[in-house]
Amino acid sequence: MAKFETEKLRNLGIVGQGDAGKTSLVEAMLFNTGMTDRLGKVDDGSSNMDFEPEETKRKITITSKLHHCEWNGHELHIVDTPGYTNFLHDTRGCMRILGGVVLLVSAVDGVKAQTQTLWRWADEFEVPRIAFINKLDRERADYLKAVDDMESALGCRPVAVNMPIGQEADFKGVIDLIKMKARIFKFDEKGTYDETDIPAEHLAEAERLRVILMEACAESDDELMEKYLETEHLSEEEILLGLREGTLTGVFTPVFCGSATSNIGVRQLLDYIVVCMPSPIDKGVQYGTNPKTGDAAERRPDPKEPFSAMVFKTVSDPFTGKLSLFRVYSGTVKSDSTIFNPNKDCSERLGQILLPEGKKHKAVSEAVAGDIVAVAKLKETTTGDTLCDAAKPIIYECPVSMKPVISFALEPKSKGDEEKIFSGLTRLMEEDPALNILRDVETKEMIISGMGQVHVEVAIEKLKRKFGADVILKEPKVPYRETIKKTVEQAYRHKKQSGGKGQFADVTIKLKPLERGSGYEFVDKVVGGVIPRQFIPAVDKGIQESMRKGVLAGFPVQDFQITLFDGSHHSVDSSEMAFKIAGSMAFKKALEAASPVLLEPVMNMEITIPDDCVGDVIGDMNSRRGKVLGMDPQAGSQVVKALVPMSEVLKYAPELRSMTSDRGLFTMEFSHYEEVPSHLMAKLLESFKNEEE
């Protein structure tokens, strides 16, 4: 492939809700541009983009893939992104490096919740958009309803550039509203068509939509507006100029249409991608920070500028190792060169630069500003890092990654697999920052957290396939705590005489409850040397060891003060060990007498939901013993803030999805511990006892 100048590059994300046809559209683009010799299909497993076994099994895109093609003298870097809620975090990670987005909307399903989320992210990262109404040959397809859906659900201004000739079984082709020509397709999967005059029955509607298109294009530019007001007409070139300006500024969203699986309307879409979508030069200066001075820094999208890039994705493979994908923002980088990673403050040696082509890669000698490429086996670099020229360092801001919302405990199917499981999952975390793995020291469980049940299940399938480790998923244990409600004094004498040197220690302690969250305090009030100074730390140590396991259900004890104020010793038989045992036993006896209670972890939640779901979600939150703290309104939605016991929201992700028709999102983090209500405590203690038995 010829080397393209930066202004001839287009970095393009194909985004949309699950099952809108994104991968099918990418397959049709690759076929039409000659990158593949047949039209890949998701349904029969012949897709070039969805090649992971977990994807072919489920027939969905799980992780974003990259390919490239040439069209009308331009190079297109295409990112095919996931659309299902469990995997949208990957799409968000790619959004930062995209020049533009093609939003797919199903003519059958219209705009769903995931599309609204993607639209908000495109706003956040200021990514220009065009839309493609897909599946016009399917039953219940409705082009105008899909366009209306965009306006009402996304709050945008959709402007038709194409319109369909017929719908459902009668769908024959598309009308180009700029050229005012009809294209009647032959349905041979090659995208061949006959260009004709617009059929008489569609002419009035085409003329109506063309007037709307001209008005929108005129509004995007003062000179065009002046001409349109004088003549009520714009030439083809003027419409294209206004179309590009309107797209880049986001004044309106051009809408195209067709059928990706039948390869209808795809070449027309490619034509307008080249015209409407921005080049890296259009995106302008990139801003970052100089890591040495902390001052603002900037880079222009020019091959002659100092090199800078951002790693937006990592792919981990047990055979080829780690593959880092990055977008070059400025300068030029060559294979076998040394670059600098300012995030890790280290140099990295680049091997061969690779151009991603689905599951394959093509070696290239260099990459220039605007290119999206990959390199293998960078030692320190991870997703979100900046790569740059060591003499001119810069750090680009990395998008905030989404926090996991559901957790499971892992149990190995085979004994002794723990290390294999942990190392395999650590490798998977390199390529999927939304996965989280930790060993819970208290419950002694390995915990995996992700964006939903399917996300976690897919990670477990990959773990087995790539690293040969098989596990069982279980609900994680809730890390309860114990504390006390009453102050007590307790003496304990440890005396042991069985031949030889004996053991003697005598302590008197006061156990007193503290405020929630205070932890543990040890106060030494021994006077007169009744306990020698060298033995007092041993009493403290004995208590600290015993507080790891409370008397109610064996959970750690917290929020109390121990005052050691009396005791006695033996000049020969007293020892550190004896006082450690005495401290431990005195604490256990005091604990039993001090009205012990169970504490549960309470989570701080922020739940983003559509306005029409507020009542259901708040009612559900109350039924979970939650306390709603307030609501913040956003465009078309509300953010409900609440405190809720962890035990009540272990499986909240699928339940919120069900309540909101997959339109709700939430974040959750630990807030504090609270006493378990007495009527629930008895049930909990009974269940712990049954588990132990």
pLDDT tens column, 608-654: 888 888 999 999 999 999 999 999 887 567 889 999 999 998 888 88
Using CA of residue 615, residue 617, residue 620, residue 625, what is the dihedral sign? Answer: negative
Q: What is the pLDDT of the chain when averaged over all its residues?
A: 90
CA distances from residue 382 to 78, 96, 324, 446 in whole angstroms, order as listed: 22, 16, 8, 23
Q: Where are the alpha helices (DSSP H) in 287-441?
A: 418-431
Amino acid letter, 654: P
CA distance 531 to 534: 8
Q: Of 379, 394, 378, which Cα lies nearest the Cα of 326?
A: 378
Q: Using pLDDT thresholds of 50, 70 and 90, give the confidence band for residue 2.
A: very low
CA distance 56 to 52: 6
pLDDT computed for residue 318 by the predictor: 60
| Residue 202: strand, helix, or coil | helix
Q: Of 71, 92, 74, which Cα lies nearest the Cα of 83?
A: 92
Amino acid letter, 311: V
CA distance 484 to 490: 14
For residue 561, the surrounding DSSP H or E stretch is strand 560-568
Quick one: what percent of the chain has pLDDT higher than 70? 98
CB 328 within 8 A of CB 368: yes
CA distance 336 to 265: 42
Instruction: Tally helices (H) and strands (E) across the chain.
Output: 17, 36
Radius of gyration from C-alpha coordinates of the chain: 32
Q: Using pLDDT thresholds of 50, 70 and 90, give the confidence band for residue 1.
A: very low
Tell me the two tokens of residue 577. 């060990």
- Rounded to an integer, the average pLDDT of 154-164 is 94
Q: Is 549 left (phi over 0), alpha (psi -120 to 50) or beta?
A: beta
All domains in the chain, ordered by first residue: 9-202+250-283 (3.40.50.300), 305-388 (2.40.30.10), 406-474 (3.30.70.870), 482-595 (3.30.230.10), 599-692 (3.30.70.240)
Q: Of 125, 90, 76, which Cα lies nearest the Cα of 370?
A: 76
Q: Check residue 591 and report its DSSP letter.
A: H
CA distance 460 to 590: 46
pLDDT computed for residue 176 by the predictor: 95
Amino acid letter, 261: T
- Rounded to an integer, the average pLDDT of 355-371 is 91
| Residue 351: strand, helix, or coil | coil
Lowest mean pLDDT among 302-316, 486-500, 508-522: 486-500
The sheet with strand 193-196 has its strands ordered as 162-165, 173-176, 181-185, 193-196
- Rounded to an integer, the average pLDDT of 11-28 is 93
| Residue 44: strand, helix, or coil | coil
CA distance 484 to 612: 44
Q: Of 516, 512, 585, 575, which Cα lies nearest the Cα of 545?
A: 585
| Residue 513: strand, helix, or coil | strand
The pTM score is 0.79
Lowest mean pLDDT among 5-19, 180-194, 509-523, 650-664: 650-664
CB 21 within 8 A of CB 262: no
More confident residue, 194 or 610: 194
pLDDT computed for residue 144 by the predictor: 92
Residue linked to tokens 């499981």 = 421
More confident residue, 664 or 482: 482
CB 241 within 8 A of CB 178: no
Tell me the two tokens of residue 225. 């507006």
Q: How many CB atoms are closer than 10 A to CB 300? A: 16
Q: Of 307, 550, 647, which Cα lies nearest the Cα of 299?
A: 307
